[in-house]
Structure 1
Amino acid sequence: MRDDRQRLDKWLWFARFAKTRSLAARLVTDGFVRVNGKRAEAASKGLAVGDVVTVAAAHVTAAVRVVDLGQRRGPAEEARRLYAEIGPDGT
């Protein structure tokens, strides 16, 4: 994969939307993740900075803009720097 992209499941795990990478992949395959408004079909989809990711999990629905791809799964504070929340008005 190109340096400016990262697998969707990996990013979801790094950003702490899932406890494990396999659970992140399951979120995608079960249809709970959209990228730029379109349902993500594969956990291997390439994600880039600026993409909008919507996760509709059982406990929360979150719409975020990717700010950084990350290099590892770190503490929550570090994970929070990977995205910016999008409000109801789209900003």
Structure 2
Amino acid sequence: MTATDQARAQGHANGHATVRVDSWIWAVRLTRTRSQAATACRAGHVRVNGERVKPAQHVKPGDEVRLFHAGRERIVEVRQPLAKRVGAPVAAGAYTDRTPAPPPREHVALAGVRDRGAGRPTKRERREMDQLRGARRA
């Protein structure tokens, strides 16, 4: 990779250390495609420093990017602007992840299994309850 390619990959085109937010989100692997990143921006799921942004908004080091994608919110701080997609280790170094840890999963019983006596009574149990109540069959 030449020096020009490296500068372009890092977003230093024309001496500016900024890059489009949709390209940066894609380059650091927060979304799978750039079009997904652009769609998230247009839908209002991306905020830079607390403000909703369009896909062409530029980000620079120190900006906070909040992305709601795949059912969770990611909060990251831009450390290095990247315009081209890079490998996962390099991408991980381009931002500081400030996303809070997800809440612990609760152990949920399987839907098909129920304890005896829990839930809706069986037909046999309903008959026994009717007998106890003294209900007569016609």
Query: TM-score, length-normalised on structure 1?
Result: 0.85
The structure with the greater share of residues assigned to helix is: 2
* Structure 2, unpaired ranges of 5+: 1-12, 101-138
Give the Å deviation of 1:23. Answer: 1.0
Consecutive aligned runs of 4 or more in structure 1 exceeding 2 Å deviation: none
* Structure with more relative contact order (C-alpha pairs < 8 Å, separation 6 or more): 1
The CA deviation at 1:87 is 5.5
Distance 1:82-1:36 versus aligned 2 partners, 3 A rule = same
Query: Partner of 1:74 in structure 2?
Result: 86
Q: What is the identity percentage for the equivalent residue pairs of Structure 1 and Structure 2?
A: 32
1:50 aligns with 2:79: no
* Cα drift, residue 17 of structure 1: 1.1
Between Structure 1 and Structure 2, which shows a larger proportion of strand residues? 1
**Larger gyration radius, structure 1 or structure 2:** 2
The answer for unaligned runs of 5 or more in structure 1 is none
Q: Distance in 2 between matches of 1:46 and 1:87?
A: 21
Among 25, 32, 37, the alignment partner of 2:38 is 25
Aligned-pair Cα RMSD in Å: 1.7
